[in-house]
Amino acid sequence: MRSIVLILIGLHVIQAHASKEHARIESAKNNLLEVESKKRNVLAELYDIKKKMKAIEKERQILTTKKTSAESHIRSISQLIVELSKKVRKQKQRLKDRVRVLYKFGGQGFLRLAFSSEDSSKMDRNLKYLSLMSKHDLRSIENFQDNIRILRSQRVSLSKKKLKLKGIASGILSRSSELEAEMSRRSKLLNSIESQKILELARLKKLRLEGQSKLSSKGVKSLALLREVLDPAFFELRGRLNWPVKGTISKDFGRWTVQPEKVELRSSGVLIQSEVPQVKSVYRGIVSYVGYVPGFGKTVILNHGDRYHTVYSNLDKYVVKRGMKVDSGDELGSLKSMVEKRALHFEVRHFSEPMDPKNWLSKNDI
Helix (H, G, I), strand (E, B) or coil at 321: coil
Residues 200 and 263 in one domain: no
Same domain flag for 340 and 361: yes
**Distance between CA atoms of residues 347 and 330, nearest Å:** 17
Same domain, 82 and 113: yes
Q: Considering 231, 259, 280, which residue would you say is the last residue of a domain? A: 231
Residues in the chain: 366
My answer on whether 165 and 263 are in the same domain is: no
**Domains: count for the chain:** 2
- In the predicted model, residues of the chain with pLDDT beneath 70 are 1-22, 88, 91-92, 94-95, 98-99, 101-120, 122-124, 126-127, 129-131, 133-134, 137-138, 140-141, 144, 147, 211-230, 258-262, 337-340, 364-366
Same domain membership, residue 274 and residue 131: no
Do 205 and 268 lie in one domain? The reply is: no
157: which residues sit within 8 A by CB, 6+ positions away? none
pLDDT at 315: 93
Residue 161, CA atoms < 13 Å, CB-side half-sphere: 18
> b/e per residue, 21-34, with b = 16+ CB within 10 A?
bbebbeebbebbee
CA distance 226 to 230: 6
Question: What is the pLDDT at residue 6?
Answer: 45
Non-local (6+) Cβ contacts of 313 within 8 A are 269, 293, 296, 297, 298, 299, 344, 345, 346, 347
Shared domain check, 308 and 171:
no
Name the residue among 297, 282, 288 with its Cα closest to residue 322: 288
Question: What is the domain-level CATH number for residue 181?
Answer: 1.10.287
Instruction: Say yes or no: 94 and 225 in one domain.
Output: yes
Boundary (domain end) residue, out of 204, 231, 258: 231
Cα 215 vs. chain centroid, distance in angstroms?
50
Q: What are phi and psi of 246, to 5 degrees?
A: -85, 120
pLDDT tens for each residue of 204-235: 777 777 766 665 665 554 445 555 556 778 88
Q: Are residues 287 and 340 in the same domain?
A: yes
State whether 218 and 298 are in the same domain: no
Q: Which domain holds residue 328?
A: 240-365
pTM of the model: 0.58
Together in a domain, 135 and 46: yes
Predicted confidence at residue 5, as pLDDT, reads: 45
Question: Do 201 and 331 sit in the same domain of this protein?
Answer: no
Domain edge (last residue) among 231, 249, 264: 231
Q: Report pLDDT for 76.
A: 78
